[in-house]
Chains A and B, each alone.
Chain A
Amino acid sequence: MKVFYEKAKVISLKRIGDSYLEIVLENRNIARWGRPANFVLIKGWENYDPLLARPFDIVQADGETGRFMLVIKVTGRGTRLLAKLEDKSEVSVIGPLGKAIEDFSISRIGLLVRGVGAAAVVLLAEKARERGIEVYTFLSASTGSRLVCRELLEKYSTEIEIATDDGTIGYHGDARERVSAYLDEPGFDRLYTCGSRRFARFVKDMDKQGRIEGYLFLETYMACGMGDCHGCAVGKATGEGYYLVCKDGPVFRSSDVVID
Chain B
Amino acid sequence: MASLEVEIAGIRLKNPVMPASGAYEYSEERKSFFSPGELGAIINKTIFLEKRIGNPPPRIVETPCGMLNAIGIPTGGIEDFIETQLPKMESFGVPIIASVAGNSIEDFLEVSERVAETGKVSFIELNLSCPNLSEGIEWARDRKQLFSVIERVKASVDIPIIAKLSPMVSDVAEMAAVSEDAGADAVALINTYKGMVIDIEEKKPLLGNLTGGLSGPAIHPLAVYAVFSSYRKIKIPIIGIGGIASWSNAVEMILAGATAVGIGMYNFVNPMVMKEVIEGISNYLDDNGFNSVKEIVGLAHRLG
Which residues of A are at the interface with B, using a C-beta cutoff of 8 A? 1-5, 43, 48-53, 94, 97, 220-235, 240-242
How far is B54's CA from A241's CA once the two chains are assembled, in angstroms? 7
* Residue from B62, B64, B265, B267 having most chain A Cβ neighbours under 10 A: B62
Asked if A223 and B54 make an inter-chain contact with CB atoms under 8 angstroms apart, the answer reads no
Q: Which residues of chain A are within 8 angstroms of B32 by Cβ–Cβ distance?
A: 1-5
Q: Which A residue sits closest to B26, measured CB to CB? A: A228
Known: A5-B271, A223-B69, A224-B267. 12 other contacts (CB 8 A): A2-B32, A5-B270, A48-B217, A48-B245, A51-B217, A221-B59, A228-B267, A230-B54, A231-B59, A232-B59, A233-B57, A242-B53
Q: Do A3 and B25 contact each other (CB < 8 Å), given the known contacts A53-B269, A221-B60?
A: no
Q: How far is the CB of A223 from chain B (nearest CB, A)?
A: 4
- Contacts known (A229-B60, A231-B60); A52 close to B74, Cβ less than 8 A: no
> 0/1 per residue, B74-103, Cβ < 8 Å to A?
100000000000000000000000000000
Question: 12 A–B contact pairs at CB < 8 A?
Answer: A3-B32, A51-B269, A52-B67, A97-B29, A221-B58, A221-B60, A222-B60, A223-B265, A224-B23, A227-B25, A228-B25, A242-B74
Q: Is the CB of A227 within 8 A of B27?
A: yes
Cα A225 to Cα B265 with chains together (Å) = 12
* Beta-carbon nearest neighbor of A222 in chain B: B60
Write the chain B residue with the least CB distance to A239: B53
With a cutoff of 8 Å between Cβ atoms, the chain B residues found around residue A224 in the complex are 23, 267-268
Residues of A within 8 A of B270 (CB): 5
B74 partner, pick from A51, A53, A223, A241, beta carbons under 8 A: A241
Return B54 CB to nearest CB of chain A, in Å. 6
| Inter-chain contact A234/B57, CB cutoff 8 Å | yes
Provide the bound-state CA to CA distance between A97 and B271, in Å: 13
Q: Does any Cβ of A come within 8 Å of B1's Cβ? A: no
Among A4, A43, A220, A232, contact of B269 (Cβ-Cβ < 8 Å): A43
Q: A227–B271 Cα gap in the complex (Å)?
A: 13
CB-CB nearest in chain A for B28 = A1
Instruction: Determine the chain A residues whose CB is within 8 A of the CB of B271 once the complex forms.
Output: 3, 5, 94
Chain B nearest CB, measured from A193 CB (Å): 20
B274 nearest CB across to chain A (Å)? 12
Asked if B216 is an interface residue, CB under 8 A from chain A, the answer is yes
Query: Chain B: residues with CB nearer than 8 A to chain A?
Result: 22-25, 27-30, 32-33, 45, 53-54, 56-62, 64-67, 69, 71, 74, 216-217, 245, 265, 267-272
B54 touches A242 (CB 8 A): yes
Q: Which of A53, A222, A231 contacts B71 (CB under 8 A)?
A: A231
Inter-subunit contact A226/B27 (CB<8 Å): yes
- Which residue in chain B gives the minimum CB-CB distance to A231? B60
Q: B245: shortest Cβ distance to chain A, in Å?
A: 7
Question: In the bound complex, how far is the Cα of B108 from the Cα of A18, in angstroms?
Answer: 56
**Cβ–Cβ < 8 Å partners of A221 in chain B:** 58-62
Interface contact B59-A230, CB-CB below 8 Å: yes
Out of B22, B29, B64, which one reaches A1, CB within 8 Å? B29
A43 vs B269: C-alpha distance in the bound complex, in angstroms? 9
Known: A51-B66, A229-B268, A242-B74. A3 touches B54 (CB 8 A): no
How far does the alpha carbon of A245 sit from the alpha carbon of B116 in the complex, in Å? 34
Find out whether the CB atom of A51 lies under 8 angstroms from the CB atom of B216: yes
Q: Are A230 and B74 in contact (CB under 8 A)?
A: yes
Known: A230-B59, A230-B74, A242-B74. A52 touches B54 (CB 8 A): no
Give Cα A226–Cα B24 distance, bound, in whole angstroms.
10
Complex contacts, B67 vs chain A, CB 8 Å: 51-52, 223
Say how far B79's CB is from chain A's closest CB, in angstroms.
16
> In the complex, which residues of chain A have a beta carbon less than 8 angstroms from the beta carbon of B45?
230
The 5 tightest CB contacts between A and B, nearest first, are: A231-B60, A241-B53, A224-B268, A226-B29, A223-B268
Residues of chain A lying within 8 A (CB to CB) of residue B33 = 3, 5
Asked whether, in the complex, the Cβ of B54 is within 8 Å of the Cβ of A229, the reply is no
Complex contact B60–A223 (CB within 8 A): yes
Given A224-B268, A233-B57, A51-B62 contact (CB < 8 Å) = yes
- Report how far A234 CA is from B208 CA in the complex, Å: 12
Q: Among the interface residues A225, A233, A235, which one has the most CB atoms of the partner chain B within 10 A?
A: A233
Q: Is the CB of B57 within 8 A of A242?
A: yes
Inter-chain contacts of B61 with A (CB < 8 A): 221
Q: With A48-B217, A221-B60, A221-B61 known to touch, is A230 a contact of B268 (CB < 8 Å)?
A: no
Q: How far is the CA of A226 from the CA of B65 in the complex (A)?
A: 21
Chain A residues with Cβ under 8 A from B64's Cβ? 49
Q: Please tell me which one of the listed residues B53, B71, B272 contacts residue A240 in the complex, with CB atoms under 8 A apart.
A: B53
Chain B residues closer than 8 Å to A220, beta-carbon distance: 57-58
- Tell me the nearest residue of chain A to B23, going by C-beta: A228
